[in-house]
Amino acid sequence: MRHARVIALCTVFALAALFAAHSAAAELFPRTVPAAVTLTGVPARPAPPAAPDPSLSAHALTAAPSPLDNPLKGFARFYVPGEDQNAGYPRSLSWSYFGLSEVMTRADDCAAYDWSIVDRALTEMASYGNQAAIRFYLEYPGGTGSHPANAIPRCFDGHVAYRNNTQWGTVSPDYDSPYLLDAVTGFIAAFGARYDGDPRIGFINLGLVGLWGEWHTWPFDADRADGHPDLMPTDASGARIVAAFDDAFDVTKLEIRYPESAGGAASGRDVGYHDDSFCYREGSPAAGVTLPRSMGGSGYSQLQRALDRGVENKWITSSMGGEVRPEIQGGAFDAWPGGAGQVDDMRACIELEHTTWKINQGSAGYAASDPRVAEAVRLMGYDLTATYAYLPDAATGTATVGVTIENRGVAPFYYPWTVSLGLKDAAGTVVKTWDTSWDLRTVMPLRVRAFPDWNAGADYLDYGYPQYFQQGVDLSGVPSGDYQLVMRVRNPLEAISPAAKKLRFGNATQGGDGWLGLGDLGVGAGPGGGNGSTPTPAPESPDPTPTEGPAEPTGAPQEPTGAPGEPAAGLTLDDFDGTPAYPADARNDLGRWTGGNCFRNGGGYGVVSGGALTLVYDNCGWFGSDLDEDLTKDTHLVVRIRGARGGEQSHFHLSLGGTTRVFGDYTLDGGGHPTVTTAYQDIRIPMAANGIDRARPGQLAMGFWYGGEGTITIDGFRFE
pLDDT in tens, 16-31: 433 333 333 334 334 3
CATH classification code of 546-719? 2.60.120.430
Which residue, 380, 474, 372, 375, is CA-closest to 433? 474
CA 276 to each of CA 19, 256, 273, 325, 698: distance values in angstroms, whole numbers, following the listed order: 11, 10, 10, 6, 39
Q: Determine contact, residues 381/413, Cβ cutoff 8 Å.
A: yes
Q: What is the pLDDT at residue 629?
A: 87
pLDDT tops 70 at residue 248: yes
C-alpha span between 211 and 229 (Å, rounded): 15
What does the pLDDT average to over 173-187? 98
What does the pLDDT average to over 62-84? 96
CATH classification code of 2-30+67-379? 3.20.20
Which residue, 459, 487, 454, 494, is CA-closest to 473? 487
Element (H, E) at 518: strand 516-523
pLDDT tops 60 at residue 4: no
C-alpha span between 73 and 71 (Å, rounded): 6
C-alpha span between 536 and 556 (Å, rounded): 34
C-alpha span between 213 and 210 (Å, rounded): 5
Which residue, 488, 543, 569, 554, is CA-closest to 71? 488
226 falls in which pLDDT band (50, 70, 90)? confident
CATH fold for domain 384-529: Immunoglobulin-like (2.60.40)
C-alpha span between 720 and 686 (Å, rounded): 10
C-alpha span between 501 and 470 (Å, rounded): 26
Torsion (CA) 235, 241, 243, 244 in degrees, nearest 10: 160
C-alpha span between 431 and 685 (Å, rounded): 45
Residues in contact with 472: Cβ distance below 8 Å, sequence separation at least 6, in sequence order: 398, 399, 400, 401
Q: What is the pLDDT at residue 38?
A: 62
Which residue, 417, 301, 293, 410, is CA-closest to 43? 410
C-alpha span between 136 and 238 (Å, rounded): 15
Q: What is the pLDDT at residue 525?
A: 58
Element (H, E) at 301: none
- What pLDDT, in 10s, does the model give residues 521-572? 999 854 434 333 333 333 333 333 333 333 333 333 723 344 454 444 579 9
Q: Determine contact, residues 327/278, Cβ cutoff 8 Å.
A: no
C-alpha span between 483 and 466 (Å, rounded): 26
- Mean pLDDT is highest, among 264-278, 593-607, 615-629, for 264-278
Q: Determine contact, residues 184/113, Cβ cutoff 8 Å.
A: no
Give domain limits for the chain: 2-30+67-379, 384-529, 546-719
- What pLDDT, in 10s, does the model give residues 470-509? 999 999 999 999 999 999 999 999 999 999 999 999 999 9
- Average pLDDT of the chain, as a whole number: 88
